[in-house]
Structure 1
Amino acid sequence: MTFVRWSFLLIALGLTLPSMAEELMSFGSALNQTRYQSLVEELRCPKCQNQNLADSGSGIAVDLREQVHHMIEQGKTDQEIVEYMVARYGEFVLYRPRHSSATFVLWYGPFILLGLGVIIFASVIIANRKKRGLSS
């Protein structure tokens, strides 16, 4: 019976340690804490792929949260922190990729396809009306 209790206690403690570790981070100011929250919600976990650093429980996400905290406390700007993450992990870590020639299709592709769809739809409608008008 004691073994079961200790096992349950250790499992419960293991599940709560990551959340407790984040709560133990101390910030020099409320602004630094706000910046931290903003950055970890904006940066994507390299391992989880569809989770931000704030939501991910993976080891690399924990390490990156600590790195962001450390860099903020060192006085680095948000831009410097983002550039560091992009230099290490690529553009993938950004939930909102930068506008560049490499991401042109990503940003504007849906609008181009929508425009082409509207043009094709309109031309088919016009062609059908002309066809009906000529055959009647």
Structure 2
Amino acid sequence: MPIIIKNEEKNYLQETTGLKIESLTDSQKLESPVMVVNRLIFDSNIIGPELTHTDIDQLLYVIKGNGIAKVNNEELSLNKESILWLENGEKYQFISGSNGLEILQGYAPDSMQEDVQTI
């Protein structure tokens, strides 16, 4: 059954200087633990934290802006509509350009990994 999710309130999971992580949907809103979607919003010229997720693969889509993704010490240029796939265990970091950087992040929660693999 299709679901349209209305985000009437901003729900920031994290808000630090120059970076906001907004939860767009999660298992509670979908009433199913299938997908988590966040929006990463970087102000201009921000160096984000270095992260590694050992339990999820991620699909990232650049909504607007530009910058660099450092993945395992390799620098990848990001522009509007760039798509980046990160496998679990990869070390990554985002650096926003002069126009800022806005990224849509999607991943299946760890609890769903087994179910997704059996489909």
Looking at secondary structure, tell me which structure has more helix per residue. 1
User: Shorter-chain-normalised TM-score: which range?
Assistant: under 0.3
Structure with the bigger RCO (C-alpha within 8 Å, sep 6+) is: 2
Q: TM-score, normalised by structure 1?
A: 0.20
